[in-house]
Amino acid sequence: MLSISFAGLGIAIGYSVKARAALPVANPIYPPTRMFGGIAWAAVDGRATPLAAAGGLTAHGAVFLAIAAWRCHREERRRYR
């Protein structure tokens, strides 16, 4: 679940900006999302993941994947039209 959220964010950034601008755009975005790292360690330690944290992570993943799909579709329309 955690990797899906970050993959969606990376794809959304990749389709939204040029290659040279991707790193400066991603740097201020990724550190605040590190707060979700506790969810991954809870799973490794065998502790229960808080329901609110899992719900928030699912919501972020859905939003990032929706943005990535929208930007991908827009890029494909622009490129192959």
- Domain total of the chain: 1
Residue 6 structural domain: 2-80
CB 12 within 8 A of CB 68: yes
CA 16/CA 22 separation, integer angstroms: 8
pTM: 0.68
Q: In this predicted model, what pLDDT tens digit does every residue of 4-13 receive, in sequence order?
A: 878 888 899 9
Residue 65 has pLDDT above 80, yes or no: yes
Distance (Å, whole) CA 79 – CA 10: 20
Query: Which tens digit of pLDDT belongs to each residue from 14-52?
Result: 988 998 999 999 888 877 776 655 566 666 666 666 777
Burial (Cβ within 10 Å: 0-12, 13-18, ≥19) of residue 64: buried
